[in-house]
């Protein structure tokens, strides 16, 4: 088998032009992921007795917080990429060029979600339970931004699904040969592995939710355990620069902390709330009554007050007689 025909082709570039505007694939994919996450969480909230539109209300707080937090975490853990000699510190603000750390986004996004959920009258843990499958779907979509940016790949590989990284990419390892146009060096497509892991996780969480119906934040705890387990091993495959502590990369440590956090969340909630979650709304919050469409028959069924008012305001004697008969 000719591996060049089966490998991922070289990225077409990180952006494309529409007139004078440059559109970045990374930004488009992040936006697409957000849209899908809001849609999934809204649908799941509706199925649990809440207004589906509240998912968008909460997202208006969670998304900006998450983007800022994801960027801060990335910059802090890649400090020399932005603030060392010869670097332009302003590029630390260029989110569209890539570099959103999921764990920073989760931490800050959770703060924003707490605010949004409180304002919307939702339980925070009920919201994140509804969000969990959609969040994994958003991550699966967003990871493809790394392909277009030619970044966050693994070591060279002979696997037929290896990805071609252009030698001109700033992320290309300076100590590795570039190969030839006919036989370029291929790298482990870790973005693909993580995307597939997330997609499988979407199906897993939906199945667990259907069969076991975990509530009170327990499904979100399972999300933390599942995603972080895969991320721990995939992170170990990557060769992009990262701080190393006791032999593990920064995000491997974050993965371990998230796994522990997910286990603790499930354990605590099992003890505190072993019963059924009656409502996703906060205690004391009155959910709006669902709107019922009027039928043609409703137009002829007047209440006593409505018919009295109609008679009183009739414009002629014939209308009054007809409405009086309807009342009887």
More confident residue, 323 or 51: 51
Q: How far apart are CA 215 and CA 208, in angstroms?
A: 11
Percent of the chain scored above 90 by pLDDT?
44
Tokens 């009170």 — which residue? 216
Which pLDDT score, from 0 to 100, does residue 143 have? 92
CA distance 102 to 232: 13
Q: Could you tell me if 265 and 221 are in contact, meaning their C-beta atoms sit under 8 angstroms apart?
A: yes
Per-residue pLDDT band at 258 (split at 50, 70, 90): very high
Instruction: State how far the Cα of 167 lies from the Cα of 172, in Å rounded to an integer.
Output: 6
Q: Which of 40-49, 118-127, 199-208 has the highest mean pLDDT?
A: 199-208
- Between 281 and 180, name the one with better pLDDT: 281
C-alpha to C-alpha distance for 21 and 5, rounded to whole angstroms: 33
Place 137 in a pLDDT band, splitting at 50, 70 and 90: very high
Q: How confident is the model at residue 185 (pLDDT cuts 50, 70, 90)?
A: confident
Residue 318: what pLDDT?
A: 46
pLDDT tens track for 76-134: 877 677 777 767 777 777 776 667 788 888 999 999 999 999 999 999 999 999 999 99
Strand partners, 186: 164
Domain ranges across the chain: 3-272, 297-327
Instruction: Output 13 or 233, whichever has higher pLDDT.
Output: 233
């Amino acid at each position: 088998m000719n591996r060049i025909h089966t490998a991922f082709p070289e990225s077409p570039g990180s952006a494309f032009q529409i007139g004078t505007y440059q559109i970045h694939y990374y930004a488009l994919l992040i936006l697409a992921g957000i849209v899908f996450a809001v849609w999934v969480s809204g649908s799941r909230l509706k199925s649990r007795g809440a207004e589906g539109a509240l998912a968008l209300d909460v997202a208006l707080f969670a998304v900006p917080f998450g983007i800022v937090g994801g960027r801060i975490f990335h910059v802090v853990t890649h400090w020399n990429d932005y603030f060392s000699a010869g670097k332009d510190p302003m590029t630390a603000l260029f989110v569209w060029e890539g570099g959103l750390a999921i764990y920073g986004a989760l931490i800050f996004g959770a703060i924003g979600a707490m605010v949004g959920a409180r304002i919307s009258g939702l339980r925070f843990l009920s919201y994140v339970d509804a969000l969990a499958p959609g969040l994994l779907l958003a991550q699966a979509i967003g990871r493809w931004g790394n392909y277009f940016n030619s970044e966050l790949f693994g070591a060279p590989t002979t696997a037929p699904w290896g990805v071609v990284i252009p030698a001109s990419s700033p992320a290309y390892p300076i100590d590795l040969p570039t190969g030839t146009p006919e036989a370029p060096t291929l790298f482990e497509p870790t973005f693909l592995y993580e995307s597939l892991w997330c997609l499988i996780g979407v199906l897993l969480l939906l199945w667990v939710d259907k069969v076991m119906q975990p509530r009170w934040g327990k499904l979100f705890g399972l999300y933390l355990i599942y995603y972080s387990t895969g991320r721990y091993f995939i992170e170990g495959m990557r060769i992009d620069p990262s701080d190393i502590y006791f032999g593990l990369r920064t995000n491997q440590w974050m993965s371990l902390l998230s796994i522990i956090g997910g286990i603790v969340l499930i354990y605590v909630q099992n003890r505190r709330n072993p019963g059924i979650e009656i409502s996703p709304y906060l205690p004391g919050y009155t959910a709006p009554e669902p709107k019922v469409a009027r039928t043609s028959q409703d137009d002829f069924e007047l209440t006593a007050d409505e018919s009295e008012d109609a008679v009183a305001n009739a414009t002629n004697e014939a209308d009054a007689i007809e409405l009086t008969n309807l009342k009887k």
